[in-house]
Every structure is written in C-alpha cells, then in structure tokens.
C-alpha cells in the first residue's frame, strides 16, 4: 500500500506523515511501514521560486526513485509529497517542461492507493524560515492553486481526500 500526502509547503504534511506512520505501525504490527521524506530538502541546488530546470528534474526523478525503492522493500509506504506536488512547482516556472512530463504523472498517480491533500488553512501555519523552504505566502498560495488544478485535471486519481 502506498499513501501520498500532498499539499503546498508549510501546511503540515510532514507532521501528518509521522502521525500516520505511527498509527499504521500500531494497526499493522506485522507489516513493514516506511516513510519517504521530502525529496526537495535533499536537492543539491536551489529550490522554491528560483529552482532551475535541472533542480526540478532532479527532484522529480529522485521522488520516483525513492518511492520505487520503498515499495519494493516495505508493505506500507507513506510519502511526504506525491509526484503531483513536484509537478506543481515545475508548472509554476517551467510550463513547457510540465506538459512534457504530464503523461508520466498521469501514469504514476495510479501507484498511490490513497492521496491525502493537506489544505492550506491560515490558522495552521507551519511555514517557518528553516533556511530551505520558501516562506513567501504568495508563492505558497500559488502552488496550492496549481496543485489543486492538477488533481482536478487528472482522470485516474483514486481515493483522494482533503484534510
């Protein structure tokens, strides 16, 4: 089983990720549970509003690789972001690249058994200056809009829920 937690930066995805992992481990003690943490933080190049094409490609490819590795080694995989999240950041800057990668996203999205979309809520502000993540509220809101649009356009998204 693979679960993706989706949403713009600073909405509490990582917090939810570890809560879910703990709960699944309690509910299924005989299953191997793992998490795929956020790939963007490991990117060796600048990310967010000023990410290069190469940085976007690195994050996109790295996310796929890490998910495949986890799925082949564990029973339950919980991902901090889905491939759609990375596509939203790509679309923000590089629409041409976005449309070239879109068929692959359409294919890959079916690999998630459940997608939990963490909504942007002003009363839940996890957007802190940690030196890596953008704290630009306009950028955060724009990514949220783009990401919601991506999910609306995908035909085969199954088990999608907003929290």
pTM equals: 0.92
Residue 162: DSSP 8-state: E
pLDDT class of 71 with cuts at 50, 70, 90: very high
Domain that holds residue 50: 2-162
Lowest-pLDDT choice from 1-15, 22-36, 125-139: 125-139
| Cβ contact 140:9 at 8 Å | yes
Q: How many structural domains are present in the chain?
A: 1
pLDDT tens digits, one per residue of 111-158: 999 999 999 998 887 888 888 889 899 999 999 999 999 998 886 565
Q: Which tokens sit at 147?
A: 């990401």
Which CATH number belongs to the domain containing residue 82 in this structure? Answer: 3.40.50.300
């Amino acid at each position: 089983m693979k679960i993706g937690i989706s949403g713009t930066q600073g909405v509490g995805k990582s917090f939810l990720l570890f809560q879910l992992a703990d709960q699944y481990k309690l509910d299924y003690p005989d299953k191997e549970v793992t998490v795929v943490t956020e790939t963007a933080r490991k990117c060796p190049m600048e990310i967010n509003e000023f990410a290069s094409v190469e940085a976007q490609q690195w994050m996109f490819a790295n996310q796929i690789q890490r998910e495949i590795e986890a799925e082949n080694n564990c029973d339950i995989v919980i991902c901090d972001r889905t491939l759609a999240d990375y596509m939203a950041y790509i679309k923000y800057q590089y629409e041409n690249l976005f449309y070239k990668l879109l068929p692959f996203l359409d294919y890959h999205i079916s690999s998630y058994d459940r997608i939990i979309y963490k909504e942007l809520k002003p009363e839940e502000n996890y957007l802190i200056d940690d030196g890596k993540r953008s704290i630009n509220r306009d950028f955060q809101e724009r990514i949220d809009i783009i990401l919601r649009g991506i999910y609306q356009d995908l035909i085969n998204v199954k088990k999608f829920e907003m929290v």
